[in-house]
Structure formats: structure tokens, C-alpha cells
Structure 1
Amino acid sequence: MSIEDKFDAVFKALGHRARRRILDLIKDGPETTGALCGRLTDLDRCTVMQHLSVLEKAGLVVVERRGRERWNHLDALPIHDVQNRWIGPYAAHAVAVLESLEAFAETEAASPDDAGTSSD
């Protein structure tokens, strides 16, 4: 799978609110599939399993089997990769623009304003 295919899978997985809810539920620690179904009362077990499958294919969920239980762990590395590729560089650019604006505003505030004075 190419890096672009991996990003496509991550964005597809994050594109559905139910999958984002599942990730929110497991961000502080793994949950069994049964526990997730119990917490996602508006979804049936089959739908939860389908969403977990999409998350697993995207690499956002790692499944650990313990006997009959299926524990779902968050793997945040794909989200970190998205942050490194898109969010970080755009945030850095935005910070640079704001710093330039701040420096310009400070320079303007420090210089006398001749335009607003009258020579009557």
C-alpha cells in the first residue's frame, strides 16, 4: 500500500462521525467490542463492527484478542503522520504570517503618525 493509499484510508476512516466517536472512546485506553457496542447505543453491533473494520484497515485501531474478547486499541501514529504532513506546516506558515503582522503593527505603532495631524 502506497503512502497516498494509507492517507486515503485514514481520511476515509476519520470522515464518519461514528468512527470518530469510537476513536474518542478508546483514546484513554482500549475497550472491548462489547463495551463499545454498549456505549454506542444508537448503533447495532454489526454497524459497530463495520466501523471498527474501517478503522483497523486505516491503521487507527489495533485489535488484540484475549480469549473470546476483542480489545480495540487506538494507534494514533496515522493521525500524527497527517499532522506532520499537513497541519504542522500550515500551522507554521500561519504563525510566521502572524509574527510578520505583529512586527509590522509594532513598527507602525512606534512611528509617528503624520497623516492624522493638521498644520493649521
Structure 2
Amino acid sequence: MSLPPLPPPGALLVDVDVAAGRLTVTGRLDSRTVRALHTAVSGLLLTEQRRWVLDVAAVTVADHTGLRAIGAAYRRLLRHDRRLTLCGASPELQRVLVRLRLDRHLLEDGRVPA
């Protein structure tokens, strides 16, 4: 299995695997890069895939806009009868999702580190 290429510093790379229902995000998710995630979600809505996994293991959520983009992607897919689950979320991101009450909706197993 090859690793996705690293984006330039300050950039975000979104890899979409329609057959597997998986988005892999690499890089920095912030106010300058959220458009890439929004565009990828737009593409997802054109597919027949109903369940999507957003792999955020290699992403740095750098500001509130980046956090809001994750919540917006979840809500947007939900409005179109799709599901989105996060995997690879850092303990810090998981704690933020708990504070925002998005953990039970987005985290793959609902467990959050202490």
C-alpha cells in the first residue's frame, strides 16, 4: 500500500476513492483550504455511494473554519441521505468533536480518549 503524496506546506490534498467510499485528507485544513473539502463533497453527491469514510489521520485542523468544514460536510451529506464517518482523528480533534457534540455522529467507534 502506497502512501498518498504530501501536499505543499499549507495546502490540502483530498483523495477520493468512490469504490471504497473513502476520502483521504492530507495536509492543513483551515480557512484557505476548506474549499478543497467542499469541492470533494460536491463530487460525492454525484455518486451512488451512500456511506463515506473521511480519513483525517494525516490532516491538521488548524482553525475554527477547518472544524466547521468537517461539520458542514457531515450535515451536507446527511441532507442528501448519505452518511459520513471520520477515522484516524487525533485525540485533540476527538475532544473538540465531543465539545461540539459531533462525536457520536462522526467518530467511527464513538470512543474518545480520556
- TM-score tier (shorter): under 0.3
Q: Pick the structure with more strand per residue.
A: 2
Max Rg structure: 1
